[in-house]
Structure 1
């Protein structure tokens, strides 16, 4: 994240910022390029550790299910309820952050996810002892762990506002998306760390130890949090004593269009994400799918996460040049085309299928780095975190809808390939087209309100 060295000279920025923003002069003057660099690194590690805990549950659920004697249907039901709880928590975080501030929101998200990780070990043991009550406790605890998932929307709002101050010069504003894409790359890095921790810790202390260890990185974030400074835009908003409900305002005025259009696009896209990114191995290995012996977890992990990292950086870079809305649309439309070609490719052809699968993931996952930063550009400061959290929660709603539709389709006798096209490719195509209805934002402009 070395590009942060090129932030504006505070002495030069302070004079021009006074004419462009209502931020309190003292606050804006205190935010130095070094502060922005530190905040960028802290947000990167906060997101990496949040993802680390978030993906652990999905990775370890089969082991937990086997230990407590759940049938596959029970395991799926628990995961569905956890996903619903995650959506509610992610939705609730935004209005809170628009009231208490971005800095506190980051710390609450990370610490809350860490506590939930510790309690997951306790809840898992309770399932084996008290049955149904333990299951309810586990669902509640893992829903609270949705604070980790919500952390990405808080990060996006916070860094968008810091970068607006540090990159007020239009020539330098074009680097914001690339830098944010490096922060968002904490997703594949956190996923790899989670897989590595399971490999190392599971033989020693089982699934419970993995969750206990996942809580410790939060200590680092809490300590590092003392160097985080609140964004000048939020401070200006707070000093202005602006009243109103962020949740209600997210559905009024200029925020309404962004909330509805981007939110529905995100939801539709996540319908496809579940099919190709989360259930991808089932599709690839099913005889009525692509009939590929793609059961090597390490190969899948390397392909998917390397593709995700490259996709984040590429789409972050491209968004700085042609605009984030256009980048998202192009990426998701090409994603739909790549996965459609994969489904039409001869079954069993490992090289062709994996190449098209990788291309699909590149264009599916990569645009999220542009999307999350685009959220911040699309909302005023008073609704920025709330709007972002509504959109973020929509992803989990899309996952629930997709899971239901896939189960229904396969139960009705559809093949995996047919289900993947109608429930995966079509919603992804639609999300790429729908996002074009969002308000376009010139990547050279910097929003100060």
Structure 2
């Protein structure tokens, strides 16, 4: 009987058609997730005109989806560790797509708010699960790049929403933008056929035959034997509890992650919800104001891809810290009056820094927890972080309500970037010290991680029983 180290095998795999399909479907889900989120910032000026909303009412309305996202992340993150990633993802896609379409039929702010809240549950629940799934299957040396590439779909969805808004809203109003969210429902049957389940979940739930068949799809060179004993990630447990996020020295690091997530999401959703309105009040035409949102999301794509590439080479934590700090600095620079061309550049860099930092934070959180609580850890980080996402639009509403200069608004949104960078810095210092202690006292002869070429030598897949 062979004891095969599944985690080492997945880490050492080379990128192939299986990974490409997972990347494609994950990116498509995130595209529509981003589309459904950014759409509110696109239609906000029109909504305020149609329903006579004040700035505070508009901020509260914008926070409804974010409250739903907090609930979705808190519910579906842990739930996926019980029922599997696939089922959770399918349920979330159906939720956010259906209720976003229904938003197009809303005839009052109250109905709109309820539908946005319900759509937000699906939006918040899908992200931690699709990220955790990609993290599990992505080859180790390309992991951050692939997660960033997949998550850049969020910015692409935002660009799609802003671009269509520039064409549709002036001519046909805001409702048609919501009807286009039906596309995920149309492709859901294909998604059900193509999306794989987590191997670690299959092993934890006793479905070893399904896990072996799936492993053969990921690693074509692997020839399974009936006597093979597949071993998932070490330290896995059958029962999953939220309390495990605070055990084994994880308490302070978990709190630091939550703080960094809240700061990052505050910047992202505050700018996404209010940037067009802020620019309109500053004297720009509606189409030009939406163009700022388009540039913000274009910068986010560049920042996501560059950040993932850089993280695989320089270290995920250090790049995350740099992106958060850069976000704060750039938003601070936007408080200085500048020519229009300079503002375009700064907004593009701000999009790269804020969204790029959040994508890196997602990968960082996933890799900070063992597999059996990975969705729970990321789900709660994103869920608690949604407090910042809820505060962002409300903060923008307060700033607009006081009719403060545009420069003051940017300066206020810069502060969370510096706080988030400080939180990650403390996390890295603590983790580095903890690792030093472990290496010095607990693991005098730690086993080497499987090399990237281990897929070519099946003997290196075998895990010794004493490990």
| Structures share fold, TM-score greater than 0.5 | yes
C-alpha offsets along residues 404-436 of structure 1, whole Å, 9 cap, x if unaligned? 445556666854433432x32222111112112
Using a 3 Å threshold, how does the CA distance of structure 1 residues 332 and 181 change in structure 2: closer, same or farther?
A: same
Say whether residues 1:425 and 2:422 are aligned partners.
Answer: no
Greater mean deviation of Cα atoms: 291-300 or 306-315: 291-300
Tell me if structure 1 keeps the 8 A contact 2:162–2:290: no
SS state of the match for residue 350, structure 2? helix
The answer on 1:39 being equivalent to 2:18 is: no
**Number of corresponding residues:** 405
Structure 1 segment 169-248 matched on structure 2, within 5 A: 173-198=140-165, 206-239=173-206, 242-248=237-243
Could you say if the C-alpha distance between residues 32 and 435 of structure 1 is closer, same or farther in structure 2, counting changes exceeding 3 Å?
Answer: closer
Q: What CA distance in whole angstroms lies between the structure 2 residues aligned with 1:61 and 1:40?
A: 32
* C-alpha displacement of 1:98: 1.4
CA distance in 2, matches of 1:327, 1:32: 23
Cα pair distance change 1:428/1:49, threshold 3 Å: same
2:329 to 326, 337, 340: 337
Distance in 2, matches of 1:227 and 1:81, equals: 32
Encode CA deviations 1:59-78: one digit per residue, 9 max, x unaligned. 22443443344444433332
Closer, same or farther: CA 257–355 of 1 in aligned 2, 3 Å: same
Q: What RMSD, in angstroms, separates the aligned Cα atoms of the two structures?
A: 3.5
Secondary structure of 1:379's aligned partner: coil
Q: Compared with structure 1, are the counterparts of its residues 356 and 54 closer, same or farther at alpha carbon in structure 2 (3 Å cutoff)? A: closer
* Offset, 1:234: 1.8
1:320 Cα deviation from its structure 2 partner = 0.4
1:381 aligns with 2:348: no
Runs of 4+ that moved beyond 6 A = 291-295
Kindly state the Cα deviation for residue 230 of structure 1 after the two structures are TM-superposed: 0.9
Give the Cα–Cα distance (whole angstroms) in 1 for the partners of residues 403 and 281 of structure 2.
14
Structure 2 counterpart of 1:140, from 114, 136, 142: 114
Task: Check 1:405–1:388 CA distance in 2 against 1; reply closer, same or farther (3 A cut).
Answer: same
Ranges in structure 2 where 5+ consecutive residues have no aligned partner: 207-231, 436-447, 451-462
TM-score using structure 1 length: 0.78
Q: Quick one: distance in 2 between partners of 1:371 and 1:352?
A: 28
SS at match of 2:174: helix
2:71 touches 2:124 (CA, 8 Å); kept in 1? no
How far did 1:159 drift?
0.6
Find the residue that maps to 2:98 and give its secondary structure. Answer: helix
Structure 1 unaligned residues grouped into runs of 5+: 1-14, 128-134, 168-172
Name the CA distance, whole Å, in 2 between partners of 1:180 and 1:386. 18
- Asked if the contact 1:49/1:218 (under 8 Å) is kept, the reply is no
Q: Equivalent residues in 2 for 1:314-325 (5 A)?
A: 314-325=306-317
Q: Deviations over 1:295-340 (max 9, x none)?
A: 6145324422221111001100011012111111011112222222
Q: Give the whole-Å Cα distance in 2 for the aligned partners of 1:397 and 1:68.
A: 27
Change in CA separation of 1:72 and 1:259 when aligned onto 2, cut-off 3 Å: same
